[in-house]
Amino acid sequence: MSDALQPPGRGRAGSENPAKAARRALGLVALCSAAYFTSYLTRKGYDASILAICDDTGLARTSAGLSSMAAVALYGFGQFVTGPLADRFDPRRIILVALLLTAGCNLAMPAAVGCVPAMVALWAANGFAQAMFWPPLVKLVAVNLPTDRYRSAIFWISVACNVAIVTVFVLVSGCNRFASWRLSFAAVAVAALAMAAVWAGTVRRLAPESGARPGRAAARPEAGGGEEAPPERIPFGRLLLLSGLLPVMGVIVCQGVLRDGIEVWASSIVKDQYGLGTSGSILSVALLPVFAVASMAAARALRRRIGDEEKTALALFGTGLACAALLFATDGAKLAVGLPTLAVLSASMHGVNLMLIGELPGQFARYGRVGTVSGLLNAFTYVGAAISIYGFPALHARLGGWRPVFGLWMAVLALGIALLLLALRRWVPFRRAVPSEISLAPGPVSP
């Protein structure tokens, strides 16, 4: 593991001896990664099954896509709710409720398949449950870990979600081949219930600080600092303007259009473009998260070299644009060219996600806005996702192929590059005014 864990900073955890503190920090990273891994199993199971569901039931892809669109819409809305909640209330409890709710939705989903309104309602509820994971997890690691561990934790939590995507596509492919796609929903629901039990039994020991201090966000003093200081009081609207986050929200919409749209429809693209069978197409998409993990590792290395999250995202958008242009130029040519190019394009957007939604919110810790900013930015990912999940198959059906979709991807990537260049005009001076250390301190442990 890069950015090796070191003893925690000051605050309640600072009284521990270094060896015990390091073990506790490692345990917290592992626990949060396992929770996020489980959330992705319960979130992506339907997307991985969508091709098999359509083939098995005769459901139209556009009808099946409505459930995914409802889920991402509720997920995006939920970020506006759970982000501020994570800054005010106990994130440990929020995550436990999320695990139980998503388990119930996955258990019920197979029975709802075939009735589109029921599918949409149930998967929308699951989308809201999924919104209860990311901001509380970011808050929890932020208030319990100092800068180097925070960044390392965010990276490994992001890796866990990509491992989960590989797992769920392999699981669904296997279930579809040897039993039924329905079995995969039961399997991930059981995993969520087991994770809920582990979480409830261990989280308070590994994360003694919740940061739950209504009316006051917590702030850890910088290394070598003195007393704990309250966050700077700047109205949130002004903070958005000073930091240049408004165009960043547009960038994140662009990233969401590509990242989630490709994840949901990649198996259909592979089947239509390259003629693989249903199970083979589903299984081949498991390649995408492998590339995503490599992209996130590369993004971290590039960010350390460049020293800026948004400039790193700009380089990744350029990579994505080159990939989209290659897909457009070689439409349906060869699987050996198309699938890796698709994977690199998807992976570059995962790297953008790590930079803008994982690491960038840490720059707002001195203002007590980590949960709020992470939730807000994450919400805009799913504005883009909702557009693409329904829009890609509709455009494919109307224009008779995936090549027009590839052309749309090029336009979206070019727009993202333009918005990033605009955002950097405010972000660079704002970032220089923010201490390089993420200054967080623990709040009281909730009873």
Distance CA 88, CA 68 (A): 30
For residue 107, pLDDT beyond 90? yes
Domain ranges within the chain, ordered by starting residue: 23-214+234-433
Q: How close are the terminal C-alpha atoms of the chain, in Å?
A: 34
Distance CA 140, CA 90 (A): 9
Q: Which residue has the tokens 């270094």?
A: 18
Q: What are phi and psi of 244, to 5 degrees?
A: 75, 25
**CB of 271 closer than 8 Å to CB of 323:** no
Q: What angle do CA 43, 47, 52 make, to 5 degrees?
A: 135
User: Shortest CA distance to 98 belongs to which of 69, 73, 132?
Assistant: 132
Residue 2: which pLDDT band, with cuts at 50, 70 and 90? very low
CA 226 – CA 222 distance, rounded (Å): 8
229: confidence class by pLDDT, cuts 50, 70, 90: very low
Alpha-carbon gap, residue 309 to 134, rounded angstroms: 19
- Architecture (CATH level 2) of domain 23-214+234-433: Up-down Bundle (1.20)
CA 15: distance to chain centroid?
33
Tell me if 369 sits within 8 A of 238, measured CB to CB: no
Predicted local confidence at residue 33, as pLDDT: 94
Distance from C-alpha of 441 to C-alpha of 148, rounded to nearest angstrom: 14
> Which residues have a Cβ under 8 Å from the Cβ of 201 and sit 6 or more positions away?
none
SS (H, E, C) 153-194: HHHHHHHHHHHHHHHHHHHHHHHHHHCCHHHHHHHHHHHHHH
What does the pLDDT read at residue 410?
93
Give yes or no for residue 380 having a pLDDT over 50. Answer: yes
Q: Which helix (H) or strand (E) holds 381?
A: helix 370-399
Token pair for 17:
């001896």
pLDDT over 60 (residue 371): yes
CA dist 156 and 184 (Å) reads: 25
Give the separation between CA 83 and CA 18, rounded to whole angstroms: 32
- Separation between Cα atoms, residue 258 and residue 48, nearest integer Å: 17
Round to whole Å and give the CA distance between 372 and 351. 21
Query: What local confidence, expressed as pLDDT, does residue 252 receive?
Result: 93
Per-residue pLDDT of 319-359, as tens digits, reads 999 999 988 888 766 776 777 888 889 889 989 988 998 88
Contact criterion met (CB below 8 Å) for 201 and 215: no
180 and 279 in contact (C-beta within 8 Å)? no
With a threshold of 0.75, does the pTM exceed it? no
Structure tokens at 22: 């390091």
**pLDDT tens per residue, range 32-67:** 999 999 999 999 888 888 878 887 777 777 777 788
Instruction: Find all residues with CB under 8 Å of 25, minimum gap 6, and list them.
Output: 5, 7, 8, 144, 145, 149
Arithmetic mean of pLDDT, 59-78:
80
pLDDT in tens, 175-212: 877 778 888 899 999 999 999 999 999 988 888 776 65
Calculated CA dihedral for residues 173, 64, 161, 12, nearest 10 degrees: -140
Cα Rg of the chain (Å, integer): 21
Which is more confidently placed, 108 or 158?
108
The residue type of 264 is V
What are the backbone dihedrals phi and psi of residue 62, each rounded to the nearest 5 degrees, phi first?
Answer: -65, -35
